[in-house]
Amino acid sequence: MSARHVPVMLDRVVSEFTPVVEGRDRPVVVDTTLGLGGHTEALLNRYPSLHVIGIDRDPEALRRAGERLAPFGDRFEAAHAVYDEIAEVVHDSGRTSVDGVLFDLGVSSMQLDLADRGFAYAQDAPLDMRMNSEDDLTAAGVLNTYAEDDLARILREYGEEKFARRIAREIVAEREQRPFERSEQLVELIRRCIPAPARRTGGNPAKRTFQALRIEVNDELGVYRRALPAALDLLSVGGRVVVLSYHSLEDRITKRVFTSATTSTAPRDLPVVPESMQARFRSLTRGAELAGEDEITDNPRARSVRMRAVERIAA
């Protein structure tokens, strides 16, 4: 098993749910990004009374995770859905609330490892990048049909790419000669667009463009903006939401939503704060918590992780 397959901050995440489980009759946690089921497996092993609902939009991930988690029987149930459908998934399971929700954002190790999915810039593959292979839009579709301004915006906003306009211009020029079909063609174009000094730092110069295309194809930020507030609304009192994010765009959304949820809406000089204006949540982390150096050494993917968590304190 490669380092990518080790769930990030595993012990820390699992321990964060201890207060959720203790003293509750068959508590329920939703793993909104099931992937290969590593976090869910650890949770079910640690807490024998726990029931986990695992959501994933990728049918192949659900199949593999289902095989891995089969020994837990009916303590685990899978849902083929996008995680902004969390409320519908929970209600379809016969529940109105849950005790915990986990978001482990970004692309899964399985999707990176399957070359034909097109997520990894280090190997030549079809420009697909769909987390759900049943969806219509692919990375090739974006590259071959989007206007130059839209391409530049996506690369700049989602990839935080300094050379977004130059890359977008070259994409439009090249597709007039031949359409984009495989990742090698895109990687070579990016290499030509980025000056040599900028290529010497920061890793593979294609990573920002690939991230931006993946986010656009799967509407990752839009889905997350809808999913996080929905998860907070589903929590029972004492329940917790734990988020692992891997780039600043996700972390900004998390910080904004959590700050709003943990802040009173009452004026500062109000002597008595009405219950309706009191914060419904409290923060469990001081800012964003980072992985330790030992974990980063063992699992390089942990280097960019930011963990934030909140607990519901009022109905």
Residue among 167, 208, 188, 177 nearest 124 (CA): 188
Residue 292 annotated as part of some ligand binding site: no
Question: Helix, strand, coil shares of the chain as percentages rounded to 5?
Answer: 50, 15, 35
For the record, the structure tokens of 213 come out as 């295309």
Residue 149 annotated as part of some ligand binding site: no
Residue among 237, 211, 215, 235 nearest 225 (CA): 215
Residue 58 annotated as part of some ligand binding site: no
CA 211 → CA 69, 76, 135, distances in Å? 30, 31, 18
DSSP category for residue 7 = P
Whole-angstrom Cα distance, residue 209 to residue 84?
25
Residue 177 annotated as part of some ligand binding site: no
Residue 38 annotated as part of some ligand binding site: yes
Binding site residue list for S-adenosyl-L-methionine: 37-39, 56, 83, 104, 111
Binding site residue list: 37-39, 56, 83, 104, 111
